[in-house]
Amino acid sequence: MSHDAVPAWGNPPAAASRPFRWKRLVLLLVALVTVAAMAIGALLYWLWTDAKVSTVGKAPFDNALAIPPLAEPTVEKDGTRVFDLRMQAGETEFRDGVRTPTWGFNGSYLGPTLRAKRGEKVRVRVSNTLDEPSTVHWHGMHLPARMDGGPHQMVAPGATWTPHWTVDQPAATLWYHPHPHGRTEDHVRRGLAGLFLLDDDASGRLPLPKRYGVDDLPVVVQDVRFDGSRLAGDRGLMQNVGFLGDRTMVNGTLRPYRKVQDELIRLRLLNASTARTYAFGFADSRDFALIGTDGGLLQRPARMNRIQLSPGERAEIVVRMKPGERVMLRSFPQRNYGDEWQRRFNGGDDTFDVLELRAAERLRPSPELPGTLVSAPELPDGEQAVEARHFDLKRSGINGRAMDMGRIDETVTRGTTEVWTIRNTNGMPHNFHVHDVQFRVMEVNGKTPPPELRGRKDTVFVPHGVTMKLALRFTGPADPDVPYMYHCHLLYHEDEGMMGQFVVVEKGRPAGGPPPGHEGHGGHGDPGSPGSHSSHANQDDHGSHGGHQSHSTHPAHGDHDKEPAPAGQAHGHEAG
Ligand SMILES: [Cu+2]
């Protein structure tokens, strides 16, 4: 620094004191800068170290794991399984003596496990007793767009929405959750989520662990943070992925354990967190067998010791237990999550103990896992694609556009296969979920995908620097007026606008348009009346049992639903 600059200062009162004052000022400034730098350094150090979360060894896992009850449907004469789901507010005692305001289906938190078999007709009476509109989306389900429960099928407070469809896909672990545009994160975080398990004849014959709640355990994983008695929902300073909790729950149970009595235990893992990605494994890093992904069983079990699941993804794993042992299901740090900053401040460095399995002293023997689970997973063939589309993931929107309820972004032709290229150069992790379909991952950065991405998928993790090629087949039914969604399933991003809409149309037909102004409209006007829903039906033209008498009132395009693929032929065809 040059001393010549000294006289430039203002109006010095007395010439004699000038040099002294200048020195003192410099010293003061140096001291201030040093203190500020140290304070900032200390703050950054504190933020950096504080940002890394671990619950390993913090507290004993001494709460018995809750198992969501299996919903008991009423079965109508034609075999239709009718479920009731009531969205309701309540209070849940996650911690002894502390009542936390929550939402749930048919209870105060989460919902029952729905279950149906391929070929069965399903109807769900979804009633909303909350004080705000919501929706229920059937994540992973192949069904008509107006049954999908996306943001266009709002259920007003006090209203009932009654979607129905024919289950027309392989055995899988699906789930359901709200999807109101702009409010999804809030509704899911408060507790609205549940499993929807699908069965089929082929999987029923396999010697897999399949006794629900015994050797076949639902594992719905969510991260939470408590603000006093309430569930917190705020984002930290540098959290650009959305809300991140400081502890995890399984099926709404904090620090859970489960006693098991069989050698082989199947875990149906669902990441129902709003923003957090997990890398599941066991504390001793033992191998497990991955047997299924989002949309069904893999062709053969794949042995591994980690499975990464971003929000919305599922995995079915089978782990071998030794008599009398305790083993912890854990989520480990993730190197592929992003740069050091992202990993530290957005959850990639975190470690969570998730669920302790306590084996009995004597275990029932389990049959060995079959070498082949399905002869050929039902996956689209990218070679047959007639259309290529590109999706650039940015927090500000997909392909540079934020979600607009009134805009159809893509129009696809029923019965065709397409290749979608998903790219993330956004510096933060995203994922990608497509409604209605289960797709094939063809390539990850130009390479053959790893085993966990070779099965049926509806949601994939796409961290920064990853480009994925997907093959998708759209079998309909066509509906030019009602769109399906594709979006980032980090729900904060989705709510901000990382979502787009596609319609499935008959060949050569244009897209219609969703009706304008959906906010709060009453869910397709069939509150409570069990017959009126049929006017929307076209899916139940599938399959062989009788069907609804009101079909004749429906406009003709229901007839086009008959698919060329064997998947359309309901039950019976697998019997051979
Ligand atoms: Cu995202």
Q: Are residues 479 and 571 in the same domain?
A: no
Ligand 1 center from residue 348 Cα (angstroms) = 15
Average pLDDT over residues 146-163: 98
User: What pLDDT is recorded for position 300?
Assistant: 97
Q: Are residues 539 and 436 in the same domain?
A: no
Residue 545 sits in a domain of what CATH number?
Answer: 2.60.40.420
User: What pLDDT is recorded for position 526?
Assistant: 38
Of the chain, the percentage scoring pLDDT greater than 70 comes to: 86
Last residue of a domain, one of 461, 481, 505: 505
Ligand 1 center from residue 441 Cα (angstroms) = 19
Q: pLDDT tens for residues 227-248? A: 999 999 999 888 999 999 999 9
Q: pLDDT tens for residues 62-112? A: 999 999 999 999 999 999 999 999 999 999 999 999 999 999 999 999 999
Q: Taking 80 as the threshold, does the pLDDT of residue 158 lie above it?
A: yes
**pLDDT band for position 21 (50/70/90)?**
confident
3-state secondary structure of 451: helix
**pLDDT band for position 567 (50/70/90)?**
very low
**pLDDT band for position 22 (50/70/90)?**
confident
Ligand 1 center from residue 573 Cα (angstroms) = 40
User: What pLDDT is recorded for position 279?
Assistant: 98
Q: Taking 90 as the threshold, does the pLDDT of residue 208 lie above it?
A: yes
What is the Rg, in whole angstroms, of the alpha carbon atoms belonging to the chain?
27
Q: Are residues 487 and 537 in the same domain?
A: no
Ligand 1 center from residue 184 Cα (angstroms) = 14
Angle formed at CA 308 by CA 401 and CA 138, multiple of 5 degrees: 60
CA 240 to chain centre: 18
> 495 to each of 235, 346, 476, how far by Cα in Å?
14, 18, 27
Q: pLDDT tens for residues 260-297? A: 999 999 999 999 999 999 999 999 999 999 999 999 99
Question: Which two structure tokens, joined as six digits, stand for 314?
Answer: 């599922």
Q: Are residues 495 and 542 in the same domain?
A: no
User: How many domains is the chain built from?
Assistant: 3
DSSP secondary structure letters along 292-359: EETTEEEEEEEEES-EEE-TT-EEEEEEE--TT-EEEEEE---GGG-SHHHHHHSSTT-BEEEEEEEE
Task: Please report whether residue 544 resides in a domain.
Answer: yes
Ligand 1 center from residue 495 Cα (angstroms) = 10
Ligand 1 center from residue 192 Cα (angstroms) = 21
Give 259's contacts (C-beta < 8 A, 6+ positions apart): 358, 359, 360
Ligand 1 center from residue 64 Cα (angstroms) = 34
Q: Taking 60 as the threshold, does the pLDDT of residue 14 lie above it?
A: no
Buried b (16+ CB within 10 A) or exposed e, 473-490: bbbbbbbbebbbbbbbbb
Q: Are residues 400 and 465 in the same domain?
A: yes
User: What pLDDT is recorded for position 519?
Assistant: 42
C-alpha torsion 356→362→367→373, nearest 10? -10
Ligand 1 center from residue 490 Cα (angstroms) = 5
Q: Taking 50 as the threshold, does the pLDDT of residue 525 lie above it?
A: no
User: What pLDDT is recorded for position 44?
Assistant: 87
Ligand 1 center from residue 429 Cα (angstroms) = 6
Q: Are residues 501 and 519 in the same domain?
A: no
Which residues are in the CB-under-5-Å shell of ion ligand 1? Answer: 430, 488, 490, 493
Task: Please report whether residue 140 resides in a domain.
Answer: yes
Quick count: other Cβ atoms within 10 Å of Cβ 532?
14
Average pLDDT over residues 136-153: 98
**pLDDT band for position 391 (50/70/90)?**
very high
From the list 243, 173, 192, 207, the residue with the least C-alpha distance to 90 is: 192
Q: Are residues 454 and 492 in the same domain?
A: yes
Q: Are residues 134 and 192 in the same domain?
A: yes
User: What pLDDT is recorded for position 476?
Assistant: 83
Q: Which domain holds residue 106?
A: 102-204+515-576
Average pLDDT over residues 564-572: 34
Ligand 1 center from residue 512 Cα (angstroms) = 28
Ligand 1 center from residue 554 Cα (angstroms) = 39
Task: Please report whether residue 79 resides in a domain.
Answer: no
Contact at 8 Å (CB) between 242 and 346? no
Mean of per-residue pLDDT scores for the chain: 88
Half-sphere exposure of 100 (CA within 13 A, CB side): 22
Ligand 1 center from residue 200 Cα (angstroms) = 33
